[in-house]
Amino acid sequence: MNIASYIRMVLPGVLLLLAGCDDSPQESYDWKLPVGFPEPRVPADNPMTTEKVTLGRRLFYDKRLSGNGTQSCGSCHQQSLAFSDGKPRGIGSTNQVHPRGSMGLTNVAYNATLAWANPALALLEQQIPLPLFGENPVEMGVTGKEVEVLARLQADPLYPKLFADAFPDKPQAISFPNVIAAIASFSRTLISGNSPFDRFTFHNEPGALTPGALRGMKLFFDERLECFHCHGGFNFAVATVQKKSAFDERAFHNNGLYNIGGVGAYPPGNQGLFDHTGQRVDAGKFRAPSLRNIALTAPYMHDGSLSTLSDVIDFYAAGGRLTEEGPYAGDGRLNPNKSGFVRGFVLTPEEKSDVLEFLGSLTDRDFLTNPAFSDPFAGP
């Protein structure tokens, strides 16, 4: 079977996406996109420029951008972990533990929504102020220290020129709106598309995937497991947008992780989409993240309650999770709001190993070491 036939069989939606890719000349910014990737959507009021990306990379890793000078964006989004942090739940600059884990930033430019369950956050420019200024929980802790933080940037020998180059039309270039715009621009460049899966699919390298990964891929895209319904398309994500998207799908799903008291409830203050809509049917609905580089972003689920990918497969095979004791006791398999795609399935040990091998094939080692994404403060 040739590659084109294989894609038609196992990658629903990919050919349609490729047909809609932007073939027009690039604008002012050269994305250097992987084969098969469309140009990301960029807001008109924050166009991409090399100068903004350069500034944004430095700001992303600068601990002086936090109120107490101890934490940067890169503290919770580490390149070696596909821009996640390896912790069950995030820990802010004041050591406050967050209710949810830090999401990986792989291909964040293509996300239809940001964060775990906020339908209003569709742009990085809307999301980035939350970790900077949020007070419950505190992340970067800038609120109340805005003047001090900007003074640190102004006193730096490099920032005045970097800001002036990035925002030549702004008389007061060093400002928080410009900080946010620059970090958003850098974040949009965090594009990963050179995994073994990509080399097999888009570069016609039949040997890029092992026999086990090939078997696992067929299982992944089979109705028996239903994985691809929530992790589909070129980005293996629940909902993806790009420059030519005709509409935005802002999808959230309940996967049966909890069912407190048998009424569909999730832990207080961490009930997903319900916390924004107040609709009981939305309790426990979260965004299904991209599976690209998923082997590096453990632990899993919004609260980090599943330690390994093996645990995740067992969880979905069971059709949800039974919590027998404690304040969160309940049978998630019977959650009334659970997605119809989380039905459970049976895998042999060999099949489970194949699925894990396929998920591992979504790891892009070049992405983890790309100097364009690295910490400029770390030295050579």
Which residues are paired to 323 by β-bridges? 330
Q: Write the single-letter amino acid at 305.
A: S
- The answer to whether residue 146 is domain-embedded is yes
Confidence (pLDDT) at 380? 62
Residue 59: inside a domain, yes or no? yes
Token reading at 19: 């047909």
Least Cα distance to 37 among 208, 184, 243 occurs for: 243
Contact between 255 and 327 (Cβ < 8 Å): no
3-state helix, strand, coil in the chain (%, to 5): 40, 5, 55
H-helix or E-strand spanning residue 323 = strand 322-323
Q: What does the pLDDT read at residue 1?
A: 33
Domain for residue 159, yes or no? yes
Into how many domains does the chain fold? 1
Residues of the chain scoring pLDDT < 70:
1-27, 380
The answer to the question of residue 152 being in a domain is yes
Which residues does residue 265 pair with via DSSP β-bridges, in sequence order? 260
Q: Please report the pLDDT score of residue 12 as a whole number.
A: 36
In a domain, 273, yes or no: no
- Within the chain, residue ranges assigned H as helices are 3-10, 14-19, 50-60, 73-76, 124-127, 129-133, 146-155, 159-166, 176-188, 196-202, 211-220, 227-230, 274-277, 309-318, 349-360, 365-369
Residue 229 token pair? 């319904």
Cis peptide before 34 (omega within 30 of 0): no
Range of the domain at 71: 50-191+369-373
On whether residue 94 sits in a domain, the answer given is yes
pTM score > 0.95 for this model?
no
Q: Is residue 324 left, alpha or beta, with left meaning phi > 0 and alpha meaning psi from -120 to 50?
A: alpha
CATH number at residue 120: 1.10.760.10
Indicate whether 71 belongs to any domain.
yes
> Is residue 120 included in any domain, yes or no?
yes
Matching residue, tokens 């050579």: 380
How far is CA 5 from its chain centroid?
30
